[in-house]
Amino acid sequence: MGCGSCSSGGCSPAGCGDKGHCASGGCNRLNVHDWLSNLELPWGQKPFEYVEVRFKENRKEFFRNVNQLDLYQNEWVVVEAQQGHDVGQVTLKGELVRLQMKRRRVSEDDPGIKKIYRKATPQDLQKLAELREQEAEVAYKAKQIIKSCKLNMKLSDVEFQGDRAKIIFYYTAEERVDFRELIRLLADAFKARVEMRQIGPRQEAARIGGLGVCGRELCCSSWLTDFKSVSTSAARYQNLSLNPTKLAGQCGRLKCCLNYELETYMDALQAFPKDARFLNTQTASYELVKTDIFKRQMWYQIQGKAGEYTEVNAIPLSIDQVLEVRAMNKAGEKPVALEAMVQAVEVELEEEPDFELEAEGVLDRFDGSRRKKKKKKKPGSTNRPGSVAEAQPQGAPAKAPNPNQERPQGPRPERQARPDQPRNENNAARKLQGPRPERRPRPEGSANPIPPKTEAGEATENRPKGEQTDRNRNNRRRFRGPRREGGNNSNAQPS
């Protein structure tokens, strides 16, 4: 298991470290499903002795299993190399290898096919891992040497042989490169045999990866392994504009997806007449300006005005109508006009099935206007809109009128005049007593001093109800909390 929450403790699987969450599918595109592995061979037939082995950069070769080793898929083996030995991984065995050799035109009697020595040991795999870690440093030094030689080439990747006897440099170049002097410099720098192998821009884009205009990962980096040539005729058959910026992929070549639907277009184009570019009528001669493959229509416009093509001026004809006019022209006859032959094509839509709902009223609420629900009458209320209940508790605040409620028709009732009695008795008492006496200055040195008594020594009980002393005012402020800073506080202590 590759989870970190199991009872045995944290554990991690071997591989790239994505722990099964790889979304690119880059590892899956190298896997091969042997659908003949579970089938037994007929009696007396020996298993096929050739095995397919994969190395770095998806490089695959065929090897002969002369020692009849019991090999399994994805098993590491030590194989023969041109000089020395190499370490690779078994990808395919059995009868499917025979089919792959026929597909790649490799003969079974070819003496150039090398053999498998043995299964790889842990020491071989450890040495291979150490060589893979050195490839990045070797590639950096090799790029500096290429830059000093002023060669028009781009180094893509580096691969070590299993015994470090040879180094393979993968590069891309648009022109032929003379790298004889470069090989001498690289061999002296790394003390190994050097092999320069050129790859195409498609292989380089597959190694780097990226996203296409469709929003998905590139086909070459996700599942595509064999690259077929793509020509501009594939775009012409599909009626695509020959715009290099739209037809080219990230590798700078034509997109591989242009070949995916090419056969479908080729089959559909067989029903179209090939010699129907021009049609002659009694009034004018028409030229083909557009072909709709899937609608099976051909658009014609008066000859000489094809460069000013618009769908308003063009005349759409079906394939049968074009064949009819073409047959008349070959017989020396001409129709009156193409406009008379145009027939409106009605597309019959399939009627949607009627579904009966068992529950009534499920969709009825969307039909017609919505009706307002009547509110239930409350006890003590009247039927007149805007009326107030007769029985109202004493001292309770009056209810606010509902704006959505309908108002009674007719003139509004006159408002009653307010009584002349003042609202607050304290305010009236202050007005009768005259102006308020000036406040005494606050003594310095105390945060909240108690003001002295008046000279008359009158008690607060004998004072009028509207007049209050400074002592009572300060006592009430203590329960309100501190005053805000910057306000009009006459008792605040000066800073």
Q: What is the pLDDT of residues 333-368, one digit of tens each?
A: 888 877 777 654 444 334 445 544 444 444 454 455
The pair of structure tokens assigned to 192 is: 């190994």
> Residue 108 domain-assigned?
yes
> Is 112 in the same domain as 173?
no
How far CA 162 is from CA of 73, 140, 199, in Å, comes to 20, 21, 21
Task: Give the other-Cβ count within 10 Å of 289's Cβ.
Answer: 21
> Is 294 in the same domain as 323?
yes
What is the pLDDT, as a whole number, of residue 174? 85
Residue 38: CB partners within 8 Å, gap ≥ 6? none
> Residue 420 domain-assigned?
no
pTM: 0.54
> Residue 492 domain-assigned?
no
> Is 255 in the same domain as 278?
no
> Is 247 in the same domain as 310?
no
The pair of structure tokens assigned to 222 is: 């996700």
> Is 79 in the same domain as 113?
yes
Residues in the chain: 495
> Residue 428 domain-assigned?
no
The residue out of 92, 120, 148 marking a domain boundary is 120
> Is 193 in the same domain as 234?
no
> Is 55 in the same domain as 101?
yes
The residue out of 120, 150, 179 marking a domain boundary is 120
What is the pLDDT, as a whole number, of residue 129? 93
What is the pLDDT, as a whole number, of residue 312? 61
What is the number of structural domains in the chain?
A: 4
The residue out of 285, 313, 341 marking a domain boundary is 341
> Residue 143 domain-assigned?
yes
> Is 52 in the same domain as 115?
yes
> Residue 138 domain-assigned?
yes
> Residue 306 domain-assigned?
yes
Task: Give the other-Cβ count within 10 Å of 450's Cβ.
Answer: 11
* Cα first-last separation, the chain: 74
> Is 251 in the same domain as 281?
no
* Domain around 318: 271-341
> Is 183 in the same domain as 247?
no
CATH number of the domain encompassing residue 151: 3.30.300.20
In degrees, to the nearest 5, what angle opens at C-alpha 439 toward C-alphas 436 and 444?
175
Residue-wise pLDDT tens digits, 162-208? 999 999 999 999 888 888 899 999 999 999 999 999 988 888 888 88
> Is 52 in the same domain as 108?
yes
> Is 188 in the same domain as 254?
no
**Along the chain (495 residues), what's the average pLDDT of each consecutive run of 10 residues?**
45 47 51 70 82 87 91 91 91 88 88 92 93 93 92 91 92 88 92 91 86 88 83 89 87 91 91 88 86 88 66 80 89 82 47 47 49 58 47 53 60 67 54 64 57 50 52 56 52 47
